[in-house]
Amino acid sequence: MAIKNLLIDLGGVLYNIDVEGTLAAFTALQAPGAPKIDFTKQAQHHWFDELDRGTLSADGFLMGLQEEFQIEAELPQLRQIWQDLLVGLYPHREAQVAQLATRYRIALLSNTNGAHRDHYIDECRAMFGHMDHVFYSFEMGMRKPDAEIFETALNRAGWQAAETLFLDDSRANIAAAAALGLHTRLISAPEVFDAVVAECMG
């Protein structure tokens, strides 16, 4: 069945994020002997999951991290570290999404939170304008790789899984989407997305 729809992740695909740098900044502020903070593209501590689902405020999330992982810093410093996760749009992404929109229906599906959305929304507004739908995990009350977020996004968009290509930088998210019948491509590096665009427009 031909691909008609593109379901695209934001961070690590369209927008550059510094997961390693953010983890290193938090870790550098931990007390000696403090527990390891789990925060990678493949797995993360439940505090991060709850923030993605919108069940925690950004400050509630940061205070939870501060207490559980013995981070010796005040809230303003933690807010800055968390905001510094967001680097900026990868080059040419707006133009690429605009090009794809001439042939496909496009939706964003992002694990994100309100504080980060407020930070990147102006930079991404023009790109989002080429999309048919923008789905944020914190507004949906669910997150990838849970099956329900894919099912909900497809249902709201009125799309069929077999006609949809999902692009993400997380192997766990890719596996979950594939199990539901979506076509998938792992965006393991920025240039992989460039190659997918060329294939889709070829």
pLDDT at 108: 98
Q: Is 12 helix (H, G, I), strand (E, B) or coil?
A: coil
Q: What is the pTM of this model?
A: 0.95
Would you state the structure tokens that stand for residue 65, as one six-digit string?
């991290």
- Give the three-state DSSP class for 136: strand
pLDDT digits (tens, 9 = 90+) for 125-136: 999 999 999 999
Q: Where does the pLDDT of residue 1 fall: very low under 50, low under 70, confident under 90, or very high at 90 and above?
A: low
| Spatial contact of 155 and 180, defined as CB atoms under 8 Å apart | no
Question: What is the CATH class of 19-84?
Answer: mainly alpha
**The domains spanning 5-16+88-201 and 19-84 adopt the same CATH topology:** no
So what CATH class is 5-16+88-201? alpha beta
Q: What is the pLDDT of residue 42?
A: 65
Q: Per-residue pLDDT tens for 85-121? A: 999 999 999 999 999 999 999 999 999 999 999 999 9
Beta strand ranges found along 9-148 (DSSP E): 15-17, 86-89, 105-110, 133-136
β-strand pairing of 133-136 with 105-110: parallel
Domain ranges within the chain, ordered by starting residue? 5-16+88-201, 19-84
The pLDDT score that the predictor gives to residue 45 is: 81
